[in-house]
Structure 1
Amino acid sequence: MIYTVRGPIDKTQMGRTLSHEHLDWIFDQNFASRMYFGKQYDEDYNQKIFDKVLPIISGLREAGCQTIVEASPPLGGQNLKLLYDLSFKTNINIIASTGINITKYAYHIFPEKFEEQLAKKWIQDFEEGLDVIDNVCIKPGHIKLLLERGGVNNVDKAMLKAAAIACKATGMSIHCHVLEAEHMPKVMKILEKMEVPPHKFVWAHADYESNREMILEVVKKGYWIGFDTIQAGKYEERKELIDHALEHNYSHQVILSEDYDFYAESKKKDGIERYCAFFNVFVPYCIENGIPQDVIESMIVDNPARFYDI
């Protein structure tokens, strides 16, 4: 089962999927907290963002996209009312998340049983829903984490443990932002100790450093890889990573995306073209340069359907 902002669907209904996008990242944590904890939405603000983002999502629909995974966690301003309205208007599936919903500084104030309390909240988000809009109980479809640069610190360890508890209790996959490949061994050690099934964890932004040696170490243990910064100017490099996945037989463990911010892109003259380029330019580019069409299609249809299936 796939949980979208318009309710659950079967995984066969996901179709072509962008697995890591941001509709509108919000840095104002007070604003984000009012939406998450208080279910309070600013209708004027939402209308402004809706008007700007709608043309991009409509363009993606025309390009063949059927599902978008919102990778902004609650503290990043995940806006369920906006997601619901855009999904309803365009008929594109949008998958919301739970995950980082409090400032990480809270760990230094309440370290005792921090992970248990955090996991309890994430489990509650799944069991009771993040919000109810138009009688639709919106459940999160994954757990989003962002690890800090410079090492896996104590709060990151606690959040990984909380995610492990919530993952095993609900079946939600863990979608974890890690920019520095050297820290993945520590991450995997925590996951292994917490007995997280490897197929329930994706290393988001594995293409950021494109550390092939570490990528192979991760996939050999059964974890997933996100090649999710496929943006203009990077097509050749990302295509070579897909070649690497085929060469080493792990293309079935890879999800693909662009990692743009819809609202930020909407301010650019070529915003729609840039966003739709994944389907209109990158996919044809891969096929023209030797990647079988059925393989690239499987990576954007079958793979996310398996990874996000609960």
Structure 2
Amino acid sequence: MIFTVRGPIDKKQMGKTLAHEHFNWISDEDFACRMYFDKEYDESYNQEVYDKVLPILSELSASGCQTIVEASPPLGGQNLKLLYDLSKTTNVNIIPCTGMNITKYVHSIFQENFVLQLSKKWIQDFEEGLDVIEDVCIKPGFIKLLFDRGGVSAVDEDMLKAAAIASNATGMPIHCHVLEAKYMTKVMTILEKMEVPPCKFVWAHADKESNHEMILEVAKKGYWIGFDMIREGTYEARKKLIEHAVAHNYSHQVILSQDYDLYEESEQENGIKKYSAFFNEFIPYCIESGIPQEVIEIIIIDNAASFYDI
């Protein structure tokens, strides 16, 4: 079962998927908290964002995109009312998440019961739903974590432990932003100790450093790999990563995306073209370069459906 903002769907309904995007990242934590904790939405703000994002989402739909994974955690401004309205208008599936980027001072103050309390909240999000809109109980489809640079900090480690508990309790997969490949060794050690099945974790931004050796090590242990920064100027490098996955037999563990912000791109003159380029330019480029079309289609259709299936 795949959990979207308009309710659960069967994995066969996923179709072509962008597995890591943002509709509108918000840095204002007070604003974000009102949406997450109080279920309060700013309708005038939502209308402004809706009007700018709708043309991009409509073009994506016309280009073949059927599902988008919203990778903004609640404290990144995940806006369920906006996502619901956009999905209802375009019929594009949108998968929301729980999880958040916890500030270090909060962890320092409440460290004693941090892991259990945080996991309890994320389990509650899944069991009771993030919100109810037009009689639809919106459940998160995954847990999103964002780790700092410079190592797996104490708060990162405890967030991962909390996510492990919540994932084991609910079946939600963990989508984890790790920019430096060398720290994946510690991440995997924590996951193994917490007995998280490797199929429930994706290393987001594995293509940031494109460390082939670490990517292969992670994939061999059964974890998922996110090549999710596919943008103009990166096509050849990302195509080579897919070829590496095919050559080493882990292409069935790869998900693809661009990691753009729809609202931010709506402000750009060529925003619509940039956002739809994944389907209109990158996918044809890979096929023309020799990657079999059936392999590409498995990656952008079947793989995401398998990873986000609860």
Q: Percent identity, aligned pairs only?
A: 73
* Partner in structure 2 of residue 217 of structure 1: 217
In structure 1, the residue matched to 2:96 is: 96
Where does residue 37 of structure 1 map in the other structure?
A: 37
Q: Secondary structure at the match of 1:113?
A: helix
**1:99-153 per-position Cα deviation (integer Å, ceiling 9, x unaligned):** 0165342111100121100000000000000000000000000000001100001
- Scaled by the length of structure 2, what TM-score is found? 0.99
Distance 1:29 1:133 in 2: 22
- Find the counterpart in structure 1 of residue 115 from structure 2: 115
Provide the secondary structure at the position in 2 that maps to 1:272: helix
Aligned to 2:13: 13
**1:269, CA displacement in angstroms?**
1.0
Task: Indicate whether 1:296 and 2:296 are aligned.
Answer: yes
Determine if contact 1:16/1:301 at 8 Å carries over to the other structure: yes
Counterpart residue type for residue 75 of structure 2: L
1: distance between equivalents of 2:219 and 2:263?
A: 33
Give the drift of 1:221: 0.5
How many correspondences in the alignment? Answer: 310
The one-letter code of the counterpart of 2:270 is D
1:202-254 alpha-carbon deviations (Å, 9 max, x no partner) = 00000000000000110010000000000011001000000100110100000
1:151 maps to a residue whose letter is G
Question: Aligned AA for 1:275?
Answer: Y
Q: 1:189 is matched by which residue type in structure 2?
A: T
Stretches of structure 1 lacking an aligned partner (at least 5 in a row): none
CA distance in 1, matches of 2:105, 2:290: 48
Tell me the TM-score normalized by structure 1: 0.99
Superposition misfits of 4+ residues, deviation over 4 angstroms = none
The code of the aligned residue for 1:43 comes to E
Task: For 1:114, give the aligned amino acid.
Answer: F
C-alpha separation between the residues in 1 aligned to 2:166 and 2:305? 20
Alignment map for 1:1-310 (pairs within 5 Å):
1-100=1-100, 102-310=102-310
The answer on whether the counterparts of 2:101 and 2:146 sit within 8 Å (CA) in structure 1 is no
**Contact 1:75 1:103 (C-alpha < 8 Å) held by counterparts:** no
Whole-Å Cα distance in 2 between the matches of residues 20 and 107 of structure 1?
27
Shift in alpha-carbon separation, 1:80–1:101, aligned structure 2, 3 A = farther
Amino acid at match of 2:153: N
Tell me how far apart the structure 1 counterparts of residues 303 and 101 of structure 2 sit (CA, whole Å). 27
Distance in 2 separating the partners of 1:285 and 1:42: 41
Cα pair 2:36 2:130 within 8 Å, conserved:
yes
> Within 1, Cα distance between the matches of 2:216 and 2:102?
33
> CA-to-partner distance for each residue in 1:147-205, whole Å, 9 max, x for gaps?
11000011011000000000000000000000000100000000000000000000000
Using the alignment, how far apart are the partners of 1:64 and 1:165 within structure 2?
A: 36
Q: Specify every segment of 5 or more residues in structure 2 that has no aligned partner in the other structure, as ranges.
A: none
